[in-house]
Amino acid sequence: MSGVLSARTAVNPLRRLTIDQLRQRTSLKWREYPDDVLPLWVAEMDVPLAEPVARAITDAVARGDTGYPAGTAYPQALAEFARRRWAWDGLVVEHTALVPDVMHGVVEALRLVTEPGDAVVVNCPVYPPFYESVAHADRRIVEAPLGEDLRIDLGTLEDAFRRARPGGRPAAYLLCSPHNPTGVVHSAAELTAVAALAERHGVRVIADEIHAPVVAGGARFVPYLSVPGAENGLSVMSASKGWNLAGLRGGLLVAGPAAAGDLARVPFGVSVSTSHLGVIAHTAAFRDGGEWLDALLTGLDDNRRLLAALLAEHLPAIRYQPGQATYLAWLDCRALGLGDDPATVFLERGRVALNSGLAFGSGGRGHVRLNLATAPELITEAVRRMTSAVG
Ligand SMILES: Cc1ncc(COP(=O)(O)O)c(C=O)c1O
């Protein structure tokens, strides 16, 4: 009960920083564009660091504790978080490996279950580095587009699984759960069907679950490894999105019981490349950052509602289905008649930076992705700028 009360009274971290403070930041979101551009693009949040995380890394710096990572505090903290938040007690600390960050974890997972030249199925439109990382790992992409409702289309996925295994070669399915950019949370029934399909076609599932902590009020994240039939799956998790820790890198590769043998092949050199300060930060976030996260999630619920209301009023031609997770909004701008790349128009005419949908693969044309993890005033300003670009 006290947890509920304190979460309600915790300050919304999205309201803590002014634009002048944000413009002093030196990270990608705030440095890519000139100062007259309002940046609501790359997935960084405009929040101060959660106090328990700040304390943990400050203490580590004071100790000079800046060596290589060691121990199991990170997977233990995640296992307890998973038990509390997702009612899942299947995360086995011994079945995890530290990875430098989520995308390196994804590439390591691909190396464990496929060979160069093998196929990796993705549900486009999807997080652009999936394409880049798969190509960099010498694997090839097979697209399985999302349905009209932006959910996984099992018929399309099955067709992609068939195309992915010519001559019975290994193949992987890189599942984005929750999905970036749509914010869709896959249901237990959908994930169970995915697991059955993957089993039937001999495709190995790797779930990128980096956005799992960031769910809307009333939504329930289901860990892929918790569904029946997912025993040989792999998941990559991190506190990076939930607590804005991209500058304090770290991730965990988590294996289902039948994939633990694969995980044992992750080289020591990969795990030890993880930032020790990152591990300390992520551990503190999962262990002690729940109250801060709750305040963030309440603020994001408000921002989703605000964006929907502003678009309905000023830009009703834009289609926006508020997601149940992530702090990203996927906007279908095709009816505006701005061409394939409306982000360029919004940037050039409105001085607001959004992600171009084109980078998200098939289905991204005419779309933009807007980052909601900012102050409500800046969302209002972004829509004002977008409206001026169109008018
Ligand atoms: C789905 C997804 N995976 C991975 C990442 C990047 O994670 P990392 O910086 O830990 O590699 C992001 C960042 O936004 C993401 O949205």
DSSP string, 256-323: -GGGHHHHTTS-HHHHTTS-HHHHHHHHHHHHH-HHHHHHHHHHHHHHHHHHHHHHHHH-TTSEE---
338 Cβ below 6 A of ligand 1: no
Nearest to 175 by CA among 108, 138, 124: 124
Cα(137) to centroid(ligand 1), Å: 17
Q: Which of 28, 45, 102, 174 to mutate to test the pocket of ligand 1 (most atoms within 8 A of CB)?
A: 102
What is the rounded distance in angstroms from the CA atom of residue 285 to the CA atom of residue 242? 8
**Is residue 80 helix, strand or coil?**
helix
**84 Cα to the center of ligand 1, angstroms:** 23
Q: What is the pTM of this model?
A: 0.97
Instruction: Determine the Cα–Cα distance for residues 137 and 144; give it in Å rounded to an integer.
Output: 20
CA distances from 37 to 18, 42, 312 (A): 15, 14, 24
Which tens digits make up the pLDDT trace of 174-203?
Answer: 999 999 999 999 999 999 999 999 999 999
For the Cβ of 240 lying below 6 angstroms from any atom of ligand 1, the answer is yes
Whether the upstream peptide bond of residue 34 has omega within 30° of 0, thus cis, is no
Output the CA 43–ligand 1 centroid distance in Å.
Answer: 8
Q: 390 CA to middle of ligand 1, Å?
A: 31
- Ligand 1 center from residue 128 Cα (angstroms): 10
Residue 236 near ligand 1, beta carbon < 6 Å: no
Residue nearest to ligand 1 atom 13, measured at CA: 43
**Residue 8, C-beta contacts closer than 8 angstroms, at least 6 positions apart:** 298
Other CB atoms within a 10 A radius of the CB of residue 149 amount to 10
d(CA 155, CA 80): 36
Mutation probe of ligand 1 site: the residue of 210, 211, 244 with most atoms within 8 A of C-beta: 210
Q: What integer best gives the mean pLDDT of the chain?
A: 96
Distance between CA atoms of residues 327 and 214, nearest Å: 7
Alpha carbon of 156 to ligand 1 centroid (Å):
25
43 lines ligand 1 (CB under 6 A): yes
Mutate to test the pocket of ligand 1, among 133, 186, 240 (most ligand atoms within 8 A of CB): 240
Ligand 1 centroid from CA 359, angstroms: 15
| In the predicted structure, residue 381 carries a pLDDT above the cut 80 | yes
The CB of 253 under 6 Å from ligand 1? The reply is no
Mean pLDDT, residues 196-224: 98
Mapping DSSP to helix (H, G, I), strand (E, B) and coil, where does residue 205 land?
Answer: strand
Kindly tell me if the per-residue pLDDT of 78 is higher than 60.
Answer: yes
Q: How confident is the model at residue 273 (pLDDT cuts 50, 70, 90)?
A: very high
Rounded average pLDDT over 261-290: 97
Question: Which residue lies with its CA nearest to atom 8 of ligand 1?
Answer: 102
Q: Residue 2 above 60 pLDDT?
A: no
Is any atom of ligand 1 closer than 6 Å to the C-beta of 215? no
pLDDT at residue number 10: 77
Residue 132 CB-half CA count within 13 A: 7
Predicted confidence (pLDDT) at residue 9 exceeds the cutoff of 80: no
Question: What value does the mean pLDDT take over residues 32-56?
Answer: 98
Of 215, 208, 223, the C-alpha closest to 172 is 208
Predicted local confidence at residue 265, as pLDDT: 97
Of 269, 379, 293, residue with least CA distance to 39 = 379
Ligand 1 pocket, 210 CB below 6 A? yes
| Sequence-ordered alpha helix ranges (H) in the chain | 2-9, 19-23, 28-31, 51-63, 73-86, 102-113, 129-136, 154-164, 188-201, 240-243, 260-263, 268-271, 276-288, 290-314, 342-350, 376-390
- Residue 246 Cα: closest atom of ligand 1: 9
* pLDDT score recorded for residue 6: 46
Taking the centre of ligand 1 as the mean of its atom positions, its distance from the CA of residue 102, in whole angstroms, is 6
- Atom nearest to 127 CA in ligand 1: 1
List pLDDT tens digits, range 122-169.
Answer: 999 999 999 999 999 999 999 999 999 999 999 999 999 999 999 999
**Which atom of ligand 1 sits closest to the CA of residue 176?**
1
Chain-centroid distance, C-alpha 21:
25
More confident call, 7 vs 296 = 296
pLDDT in tens, 333-359: 999 999 999 999 999 999 999 999 999
Taking phi over 0 as left and psi of -120 to 50 as alpha, with beta for the rest, 155 belongs to alpha
Whether ligand 1 lies within 6 angstroms of the CB of 277 is answered as: no
Residue 103 Cβ contacting ligand 1 at under 6 Å: yes
According to DSSP, the residues that pair with 98 across neighbouring strands are: 252
